Amino acid sequence: MYAILDIETTGGKYNEEGITEIAIYKFDGSKVVDQFISLVNPEQPIQPFVVGLTGINNEMLRNAPKFYEVAKRIVEITTGCIIVAHNSKFDHRILRLEFRRLGFDFERKTLCTVELSKKLIPGQVSYSLGKLARALGIPLSDRHRASGDAQATVKLFKMLLTKDLEKEILKETIRNEPSQQINTKLIQIIEELPSITGVYYLHNDDGEIIYIGKSKNIRKRINQHFTNDYHKSKEVQKEVASVSFEATGNELIALLKENEEIKQNKPKFNKASKKSIFSYALYQFADENGYINLRIARSDARKKSITTFTNLQQAKAVLHNIIEKHHLCQKLTGLHIGKGSCFSYTIKSCKGACLNIETPEEYNLRIQEVIALYSFQNQNMLVIDRGRDIDEKSALLVEEGVFKGIGFFNLNHQMNNLDIVRSIITPMTNDRDAQHIIQSYLRKNNKLKIIQFSTHE
């Protein structure tokens, strides 16, 4: 659990400042579950330059609660949480200073989004909250006011969690959480999980990830893990101490993150994932008459395929749909063997390529349409899907036929600036498994919004 906060102060000499405004959002790694926002009477004048920066003046704070009046609520909302702030050393120091004046020792673990951003989003011109938010397309209203800055920090932190493929933030968080009793932990874990789409992580007592999975319903899937009698499930049940998760909003992002993070983290119970997730592919070749033929065959890493399939049954089903939709010849797609015309020609679906009635030039135009539709070849596109919240969408970026990664953006932000698109994207490996996942998903979900673009824009 995290307490994402921002504090505005009076300014002045080091360790003599007072708090003028505070905003705290309690964040469970997926959503905000509690919040506290308040002006605070610092019982000392505000420096003039701070008034100009924040717009908060002495008159505004005359009837605001004093710090001792809000201290209990601050302790309550931050207990058991890691404090997250943009330059957390400053915010944590100010909080400790105010509590010390009350004779109370306030100490919390902290995470700094400036330091995390420098590590996970390198190459930015500036790491100030305002400039970073602008570069990443994060909406930021009421700049230099606690609530506006804290809300932007929540969105930034969500992005950083997504970009942290090695899950260092998650592991450290789990290590700092109190361990549960073995006899009740599985029931407690299930009760605290949401029924959402995402990736989940099973941790041992040391916080290490022992299994990574994805599901459209995380709570239901974890319940299956904990109630199965299979040998592997029983071994997992013995070692699991806690479960964390990351919401993805849709299954495509969940599949891609699962594929990438299993390879990055190599959890001990994910051994089966070392195998390829597809076994057949669709290939092309030109025959002696100049017609482009399509063929299903065993996948071969040495050959360039149009698209890939989990098994032969899926491959044949997809190819039949392609033939019907694009009026292709069964003979030139390997589904009709023998002399004469194919069956599709007899029902007027094939236009006669099998009898040389349709010219290679005419036939190959439709084949090229198929290749463009089902392969990544020279593609520049953004695939837009559901996000984790109502006001959010996910984006998947492919440039020059290469899968670049995934990210999330606010609905108020137009995705027409490629530099911003590249900034919000979490880079991911363009391996054959990732391409298979994307192609398979796009075949099943052909109504997804796809934005084609030029890399020269």
pLDDT tens track for 243-259: 889 999 999 999 999 99
Tell me the DSSP string of 376-402.
Answer: -TT--EEEEEE-SSTTEEEEEEEETTE
Q: Coil, strand, or helix at residue 243?
A: strand
For residues 227 and 186, the answer to whether their CB atoms sit within 8 Å is no
**Crossing angle of helices 251-265 and 432-444, rounded to 10°:** 170
Please indicate, yes or no, whether residues 90 and 194 belong to a single structural domain of this protein: no
For residues 200 and 120, membership in a common domain is answered with no
Q: Which two tokens stand for residue 297?
A: 């065959």
Does 457 reside within a domain?
no
pLDDT at 206 over 50: yes
Position 169 confidence tier, pLDDT thresholds 50, 70, 90: confident
> With bands split at pLDDT 50, 70 and 90, how would you rate the model's confidence at 75?
very high
Total domains in the chain come to 4
Are 15 and 108 within one domain? yes
pLDDT at 442: 87
pLDDT in tens, 340-374: 888 888 888 899 988 889 999 999 999 998 888 88
Domain check: are 131 and 63 in the same one? yes
- Specify if 7 maps to a domain: yes
On whether the pTM is more than 0.75, the answer is no
Q: Based on the domain organization, do 87 and 144 belong to the same domain? A: yes
Q: Clarify whether residues 52 and 102 are in a common domain.
A: yes
Give the closest residue to 24 by CA, choosing from 52, 10, 49, 4.
Answer: 4
Where a domain ends, among 374, 409, 428? 374
In sequence order, the β-bridge partners of residue 200 are 213, 245
- Give the Cα separation of 258 and 216 in Å (integer): 13
Phi, then psi, of 346 in degrees rounded to 5: -65, -25
pLDDT tens digits for range 407-438: 888 866 666 777 778 888 889 998 888 988 99
Q: What are phi and psi of 184, to 5 degrees?
A: -120, -5
Distance CA 113, CA 136 (A): 14
Segment among 186-190, 195-199, 254-258, 332-336 with least mean pLDDT: 186-190
Which of 130, 163, 196 lies at the terminal end of a domain, its last residue?
Answer: 163
Maximum C-alpha span of the chain: 96
**What are the pLDDT digits (tens) for 4-14?**
999 999 988 88
Indicate the burial class of 427 (C-beta count within 10 angstroms; 0-12, 13-18, 19 or more): middle
Check whether residue 325 and residue 389 sit in a common domain: no
**Residue 278: what pLDDT?**
80
DSSP notation for 166-234:
T-HHHHHHHHTSPPPPTTTHHHHHHHT--S-SEEEEEE-TTS-EEEEEEESSHHHHHHHHHH--SHHHH
Q: Would you say residue 82 lies in a domain? A: yes
Averaged confidence pLDDT in the chain: 86
Mean pLDDT score, 32-42: 92
pLDDT digits (tens, 9 = 90+) for 314-335: 899 999 999 999 999 999 998 8
* 172 against 201, higher pLDDT: 201
Of 374, 397, 427, at which residue does a domain stop? 374
332: left (phi over 0), alpha (psi -120 to 50) or beta: alpha
pLDDT higher than 70, residue 181: no
User: Exposure of 310 by Cβ count < 10 A (0-12 exposed, 13-18 middle, 19+ buried)?
Assistant: middle
In angstroms, the CA 324 to CA 303 distance is 26
Quick one: 215 and 101 in the same domain? no
What CATH number is associated with residue 199?
3.40.1440.10
pLDDT in tens, 221-249: 888 888 777 777 788 888 888 888 999 99
Residue 183 is predicted with a pLDDT of 40
Q: Which residue segment(s) compose the domain that 264 sits in?
A: 168-273
Instruction: Supply the CATH number for residue 138's domain.
Output: 3.30.420.10
